[in-house]
Amino acid sequence: MGRASPRTVFPYPFRERVVSIAAKFEIEYLQYLDAEGKQVRDDLPAFTKDLDHMVELYKLMMSTRVFDAKSVALQRTGKLGTYASCLGHEASHVGIGSAMKPEDVLAVSYREYGAQLYRGVQPREVYMYWGGDERGNDYQNEPARHDFAWSVPIATQCLHAAGTALAFKIRNEKRVAVCTIGDGGSSKGDFYGAINIAGAQNLPMVAVIVNNQWAISVPRKIQSGAPTLAQKGIAAGLYCIQVDGNDIIAVRKAMEDALERARNGEGGSVLELVTYRLSDHTTADDARRYRGEQEVKDAWAKEPMKRLRNWLVAKKVWDDAKEEAWKAECDEWMDNEVNAYLQTKTQPVTAMFDYTFAEVPADLAKQRDLALSLDKKAH
């Protein structure tokens, strides 16, 4: 006698599963100039019609690169401490700074020199800071004077920007707080906390992720499983966009739009500027140990200076003669700044005790007196 085959009995009739979609998201990618400086779209922003202004942006990018090379040379000759290079970031940084209004506030990390130079920070102040003199953080020119100091602790400046944006909202001021962060830094809790409160409170804040592909020796591909870093702002309820960070026109346009939205009470944004760190992480690093020659060579083919220069040459507002003349001016400018830095008198030894407490505690007062006596003996 045969045995019946077992069969599965379903308690309910089969029904097709219906899935409801709670929300859908897309991340726009913005680019106007390709790697060769050719336009990939015709709807250029209005500011590009002012070719004199575009030339000024290029000149500042070149100034930033000359400044960066001089900075590395100073460190190599023992005249500067560890320095964080900005080579390859010129379009991203100048694009950020040039889009901001003077009354806005910038909270940087430690390599956004192009944005800071645009807002009035002097190279001598950068050198003082990296030379170990905190007076470098006391920017003398407006509008940089009301910006934040350099922030080496990763991502803490994002919280500073969020707090500033909250103050602007409470005071009903049409100002925007801008913070910059690297690709690796965007994984820090400080960053997530800052963008979360910006979204929850509808704050006038723009968080810019300068994605240069490497968090020291950690590559972008193992930092996050997200297809873009821009989308990190989605969970916070912020507007998000990914931008070609080597295309200053795209950076400037994306920044202007984000700043305008924030200024008009329409909320904050997260921008991801895709660029590449052409240098070592800092002068204490050797990037050859963790990235290949071909990768860097490919990145140089997409670098920001070439594409804007080619675009300006095609518009007949820039040429080799102007390039050489401006480079000579940059060299003279840097010589003056370096000399000003090297001639700055050092602070008295007591300065390390004088600016932490309103009233110096007894134990620190005792140490201060001891340090002063030792200094007098040494001199």
Query: How far, in Å, CA of 272 to CA of 256, rounded?
Result: 14
Q: Is residue 142 within 8 Å of residue 116, measured between CB atoms?
A: no
Q: CB neighbours of 57 closer than 8 A, spacing ≥ 6? A: 94, 98, 248, 252, 308
Instruction: Tell the residue number behind the tokens 């390859």, with chain if given.
Output: 88
Query: For residue 106, what are the β-bridge partners?
Result: 178
- CA distances in angstroms from 109 to 73, 87, 149, 182, 211, listed in the order given: 22, 15, 9, 8, 13
* CB-count burial class (<10 Å; 0-12, 13-18, 19+) for 98: buried
Distance CA 52, CA 30 (A): 24
- Just list the catalytic residues: 277, 281, 290
Tell which residue, 158, 165, 150, has the closest CA to residue 181: 158
Instruction: Give me the phi and psi of 166, to 5 degrees please.
Output: -65, -40
Q: How far apart are the first and last CA of the chain?
A: 113
